[in-house]
Each structure stands twice: as C-alpha cells, then as structure tokens.
Copies of this chain bind each other. A is one copy, B any other.
Amino acid sequence: MSRRFHVDVRSSCSLLGTALKYLSLTLLLPTAVALYYRESPLPFLVALAIAIAAGTGLEHLEPEPELEHREAFLMVALTWFFVPVIGTIPYLVDGTGTLAHPANALFESMSGFTTTGATVMDEISVEAHPRSIMLWRQLTQWLGGMGILVLMVAILSELSVGGTQLIREEAPGIQVEKLTPRIRETARALWLLYAWFTLAAVVVYYALNLFGLAPNMTFYNAVAHALTSLPTGGFSPEGRSIEAFEPIVQWAVMPFMVIAGTNFALYWYAWRGHPERLISNAEFRSYLASMTVIGALLSVLLFLGVGLAEVPEGVAAIPGSLERSLRHGLFQTLAIVTTTGYASMDFNTWSDSTQVILLFAMFLGGSAGSAAGSIKIIRWYVVGKSIRRELFTVVHPQAVRPVRMGRSTEVIDEETIHSIFVFMVLFLSLFAISTVVLFLDAHRTPGLSLSALEATSAAIATLGNIGPGIGVVGPMNNYEPFSHTAKLYMVFLMWIGRLEILSVLVILTPAYWRS
C-alpha cells in the first residue's frame, strides 16, 4: 500500500461522481413506471439530469481516480451522503404529502438508501402518492442494499473496520493487492446472487396471487416487496406493511428475510459447490439459533395470551391459535433480528414484556456480509467467546487460550477482537447519547409525547437501520411528529450506523488527514 502525505480528495470526489452517474441510470426505471401509469415522469427526469450533471462534473476533477486505503473512507462517507441527497429530488419535485418538506424528503431518502425503513410519510398508499414515487421509495432500498453488500464484503473488511475483517476470510473472488479490481470482482459475484434472490422473491410473491391465494399481491406489490426484502429494507407501499396481506404471504416473506440477513459471501461458496461453508459457519448457526429461541419464546407468550396487552384491531384472535401465534411470533422475530422491519401486525398491541424482548433483539442485527444493520451476530459471538475466555484466564492466569470461530481451528486474532470491543463501546455509547438527544428534543416538540422507552427504540431503530420502533414510532406509525432537528439527527444516525460508525469517525481524526 503506497504511503501518501495527504488524502487525495479529488479521487474520492471523482468516484462519488461515478456513483452518481450509476444512480442516474437507475432513475430510468421509475421514469418508465411513471409513463406506464400515466403519471408525471418529471420528478425522475429532474433527478436524472442533476445526477448526470453532478456526476460528470465530479468525475472531471480527477479523470483517473485511484482508490487507496484513505480515499476509500472519504469516498464511502461522501457517497452515502450525496446519493441520498440526490434521491430526495423525486420526492421534492413530486411534492405530495409530508415529503414535500426537504427535511422529510432527506429522512425518507436516507432511510431508503441505508435500508433502514423508517418513514415520515403520513399516508402510505398508492392513492395518496403516485405509484412511480412509491416504487422509487422501494428502489432506494434495493440500491442501498447492493451498495452495502459491497461496502461490507469488499471495502470495510479490507479496511479492517470494527471487526469486519472477519468477513474477509469468507470474501469471494480473487485476492488482489489493489482495492479497485477487488471491489469490482466481489461486486459482480454478490450482485448476481442479490438479483437472483430478488427475482425469486418476485416470482414467489406473485405466484401466490396467480394461484388465487393472495388477491392484493399484485405484480406491482410483488416487485415492490421483493425490492425491500433482500436489502432487509422494510419499506412497503401498503400503510399496514405485510399485515395487509394474507397469512400465506406472511409465511412466504419469512424465508426471504432469513436469506437477506445471511452473509452473502457464504452463498457464493454454496453456489460454487461448497454448501458446507454456509452450514458450518459459526455466525450462520448462531443467527439461526437466536431467531429460533426468540421466535419460540414470543410465540409461546402470544399463544398463552400473556404476550398481548390489548386485542389488536383487524387481526384474528391470537391466544390459543397455534398458527397465528407462531406466525406473528416468528415473523416479528425475523423482521427485527434481520433488521428488515416489516410488520405482520401492530406489535404496539403486545405486552411490555414481549415488546422488551423485541427491543433487545434489535441489538442483534443479522449477519455481517448482508445488508442487515445494528451490531450483528458475529460481534456478539466474538464478545461472548472473549468473555468466556476472560473468565477462564482469571482462574488460570498462566493459560494462553485463543478465541476460535466455532469448533474450527481458525483463531480470531487479538487485534480483531479488540476492534470488535471498540465497535461495541462506540455503538452502545452513541445509542445511549442518541436516546437522550431524542428524548430531550421530543420534550420541546409540540404534539409529540415520547417516553424514555420509545426514545430508546427510536435511537436503536435508526442507528441500527431497523426502521420501526415501539409506541409512537411503532410499525403502523411514523417519524413525522419529530422536530426537523430530531429528523436531521436521525438522518445522521442512519448514515453513521450504516457505515459502521468507525469509518466515519476516522475521517474526523487529524491522523487521517496528516501523513
């Protein structure tokens, strides 16, 4: 790796320009949808023009950009900020509903591209908004998911950020010195898988309609939900999320959430004839185990009736029904652990204890190497193993005992363990501070009554890129009542959470800019 005496800002900006040009291409899809439904294509054409202009301008800064270690950090931070900024243009030009306000539009766009799924739309339906706009909202998540896969598997793992270096062991593709061809190679492999899974979701969802099992899962809805299943996004053009559909649709969405929250690098190996790498993976096993335990617990509580605080409207009686308890208990577990954030019912009707279980589950966060957010299972796994090791070495001070992945001989190096602990402390501190910020700001916001528990859930739901929280930020509610200051703060949380915190903090240190 070559040493430089300053950061090559021009290269970083030039690569942001390239990203904006790719973004402009994707805007052709909602343009076509707008024309098909006889809606105005103007929102997308304006965004397209601006994206091309800005992209071309930025690319001119440095015609042959080089992506080295440091430039990668800046490029990633800039891209994940300015792509969502350009993404607001369709909402602003369209100008219907709450998204007409720039702060709301930025919130919605950042929530989309970071695959968070928190919304400030007060009326979510294709009656209140153009179908093309509603599809653009879904598409932002799908595009965001693509970006995150590459970010996690190819970029952050190479940069050894917060323990993501563990993914490097699993990362597919050629081992090359330069970052750029490495990214290109990995991206190609991951995106192919991502696209195939998305297509499979469209087929499965729409097949339910064709077989007469899900009358309202139209082709539009099938595409719209496939686009937000794979990136663990959670946006839905239906105001009541997946509750709006038949039970069979809810069951059909579950496997796709599980798929979406798994390390995509492992699929690559499975696809290349090494399924054992997926099956024996320690994180994958912990991921399935934690969802099984939490899902079973919630289902039992729902079945016994103690999991519900009130009788929810429009949902068939749950206590005593095995199918319904299992379905809702498991669905909400998957939706939260994978950080997708879909809802099969309003879990605000659940009792305190079941809601608190969901709140704890929000800190798990799917697998590394997927588009899932939050802390991620692998970090908990390493922390858990390190604590066990510590308890052993306190009793046996002379013992040397490395931390291993699963039962394999693969030793996790101490620097990686240290990185993970640093990440944990940073994540939890930022979460605690954010809870307080949101709580105090809400006290000054007319028309918003936010309890400390609700503030806690709003902080983890945005920082962890989950989407819905508890109470006023519940799955059938939205973030619109917050002050614009709080919304912009949450935009920051979604952004820094998505970039695994450290990669943003690095840019703020003097050491980054000096030699």
Residues of A within 8 A of B (CB): 1, 69-70, 73, 159-161, 352-353, 356, 359-360, 383, 386-388, 390-397, 414-415, 417-419, 421-422, 424-426, 428, 432, 436, 439-440, 443, 451-453, 456, 502-503, 505-506, 509, 511-512
Contact = CB atoms under 8 A, between A and B. Distances in A.
Nearest to A390: B422
A352 B443 contact: yes
Contacts of A391: 502, 505-506, 509, 511-512
Contact of A425 (B353, B359, B387, B388): B387
28 contacts: A159-B394, A356-B436, A356-B440, A359-B436, A360-B432, A383-B425, A386-B422, A387-B426, A388-B509, A390-B419, A390-B422, A391-B502, A391-B505, A391-B511, A391-B512, A393-B415, A394-B502, A395-B509, A395-B511, A395-B512, A414-B414, A418-B418, A421-B424, A424-B425, A425-B425, A428-B428, A451-B452, A452-B453
A360 B428 CA distance: 13
Nearest 4 pairs between A and B by C-beta? A421-B421, A452-B452, A452-B453, A390-B422
A298 to B, nearest CB: 15
Given A383-B425, A394-B502, A452 B456 contact: yes
A403 to B, nearest CB: 10
A415 B503 CA distance: 25
A304 to B, nearest CB: 16
A451 B449 CA distance: 14
Contacts of A396: 511
Given A424-B425, A425-B383, A394 B436 contact: no
Nearest to A451: B452
A386 B418 contact: yes
A70 B395 contact: yes
B394 A440 contact: no
A4 to B, nearest CB: 11
A428 B415 CA distance: 22
Contacts of A426: 387
A64 B397 CA distance: 25
Contacts of A417: 418
Contacts of A415: 393
A311 to B, nearest CB: 19
A428 to B, nearest CB: 6
Given A159-B394, A418-B421, A452-B453, 9 more contacts: A1-B397, A353-B440, A356-B440, A387-B425, A391-B509, A391-B511, A391-B512, A394-B506, A424-B425
Nearest to A508: B391
A69 B383 CA distance: 25
Contact of A392 (B393, B421, B511): B511
A243 to B, nearest CB: 26
Contacts of A425: 383, 387, 421, 424-425
A512 B395 CA distance: 6
A191 B160 CA distance: 49
A160 B352 CA distance: 40
A164 to B, nearest CB: 11
Nearest to A514: B395
Contacts of A394: 159-161, 502-503, 506
Contacts of A451: 451-452
A348 B387 CA distance: 38
A392 B440 contact: no
Contacts of A436: 356, 359-360
A414 B421 contact: no
A70 B397 CA distance: 11
Given A422-B390, A452-B456, A69 B509 contact: no
B511 A422 contact: no
Contacts of A390: 418-419, 422, 502
A108 to B, nearest CB: 28
A68 to B, nearest CB: 11
A68 B456 CA distance: 45
